Amino acid sequence: MTQAQAWPPLSAPPELEGGVLRIIPLGGLGEVGRNMTVFEIDGRILLVDCGVLFPEEHQPGVDLILPDFAPIRDRLDDVEALVLTHGHEDHIGAVPYLLRLRPDITLVGSQLTLAFVEAKLAEHRIKPLTLAVDDRSVATFGPFTCEFMAVTHSIPDSLALTVTTEAGRVLHTGDFKLDQLPLDGRVTDLRAFARAGDDGVDLLMVDSTNAEVPGFIPTERDIGPVLELVFDQAPGLIMVACFSSHVHRVQQVLDAAAAGGRKVAFAGRSMIRNMTIALDLGYLTAEEGIIVPLNTADALPRDEVVFVTTGSQGEPMAALSRIANGDHKIHVGPGDTVILASSLIPGNENSVYRVINGLTRMGAKVVHKGNAAVHVSGHSAAGELLYTFNIVGPRCVMPIHGEARHLVAAGQLAVATGVPSDRVVLAENGMVIDLAEGLAEVVGAVEVGNVYVDGSTVGEITEVGLKDRRILGDEGFVSIFAVVDPAEGYVMVEPTIQTRGVAEDDEIFAELVVQLNQALVLAMDQGAHDSHQLQQVMRRVAGRWISKQLRRRPMIIPVIVIA
Residue 292 is classified by DSSP as -
**What pLDDT shows up at residue 462?**
64
Reported as a single tens digit per residue, the pLDDT across 190-209 is: 999 999 999 999 999 999 99
Counting runs of H as helices and runs of E as strands, what totals does the chain give?
16, 25
In whole angstroms, give the CA distance from residue 255 to residue 536. Answer: 66
If one looks up domain 220-367 in CATH, what number appears? 3.40.50.10710
Range from 28-42, 366-380, 443-457 carrying the lowest mean pLDDT: 443-457
Reported as a single tens digit per residue, the pLDDT across 485-522 is: 888 888 888 898 888 777 656 678 888 899 998 999 89
Kindly list the domain boundaries of the chain, sorted by start residue: 20-55+62-215+377-446, 220-367, 463-562
H or E segment to which residue 297 belongs: helix 294-298
CATH architecture of 463-562: Roll (3.10)
Beginning with the edge strand found earlier in the chain, give each strand of the sheet holding 451-454 in spatial order. 64-66, 451-454, 457-458
Non-local CB neighbours of 289 within 8 Å, separated by 6+ positions: 263
If one looks up domain 20-55+62-215+377-446 in CATH, what number appears? 3.60.15.10
Cβ–Cβ under 8 Å, residues 171 and 148: no
pTM as predicted: 0.81
Cβ–Cβ under 8 Å, residues 175 and 153: yes
In whole angstroms, give the CA distance from residue 34 to residue 67. Answer: 6
Sign of the Cα torsion 322, 327, 331, 333 reads positive
DSSP for 301-354, written as a single string: -GGGEEEEES-TT--TTSHHHHHHTT-SS----TT-EEEE-SPPPTT-HHHHHH
Cβ–Cβ under 8 Å, residues 306 and 264: yes
Cβ–Cβ under 8 Å, residues 559 and 516: no
DSSP for 492-549, written as a single string: EEEEEEEEESS-S-GGGGHHHHHHHHHHHHHHHHTT--SHHHHHHHHHHHHHHHHHHH
Reported as a single tens digit per residue, the pLDDT across 307-320 is: 998 865 656 556 78
How far, CA to CA in Å, does 247 sit from each of 94, 111, 282, 285, 369? 21, 14, 11, 10, 18
**What pLDDT shows up at residue 2?**
45
| Average pLDDT, integer, range 471-477 | 64
Q: Reduce the DSSP state of residue 289 to 3 states and report it.
A: coil
pLDDT for residue 146 is more than 60: yes
Rg value, the chain, Cα? 28
**What pLDDT shows up at residue 270?**
87
pLDDT for residue 223 is more than 60: yes
